[in-house]
């Protein structure tokens, strides 16, 4: 039983690992993009969010 618990807990790890590294540059690029960058950059951030949502399912 205790050995079977870490198995299912390891499954969400890869799923959370993918968005983790990609989510880091997102907020960093979204903040400045919405402040001084044109709408084009903001759209890119929105597109990235949509892609992440699709990947997450």
Length of the chain in residues, anyone? 57
Q: Residue 14: which H helix or E strand, with range?
A: helix 12-17
Instruction: Please tell me the distance from the alpha carbon of residue 7 to that of residue 2, in angstroms, as a whole number.
Output: 9
Assigned token pair, 11? 């499954």
Model pTM above 0.75: no
**How high does pLDDT run on average in the chain?**
63
Q: What distance separates the 2 farthest-apart alpha carbons in the chain?
A: 54
Among residues 5, 1, 52, 2, the alpha carbon closest in space to that of 26 is found at 52
pLDDT at 48: 87
């Amino acid at each position: 039983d205790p050995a079977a618990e870490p198995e299912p807990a390891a499954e969400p790890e890869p799923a959370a690992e993918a968005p983790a590294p990609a989510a880091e540059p997102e907020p960093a690029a979204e903040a400045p993009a919405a402040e001084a960058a044109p709408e084009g950059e903001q759209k890119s951030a929105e597109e990235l969010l949509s892609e992440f949502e699709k990947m997450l399912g």
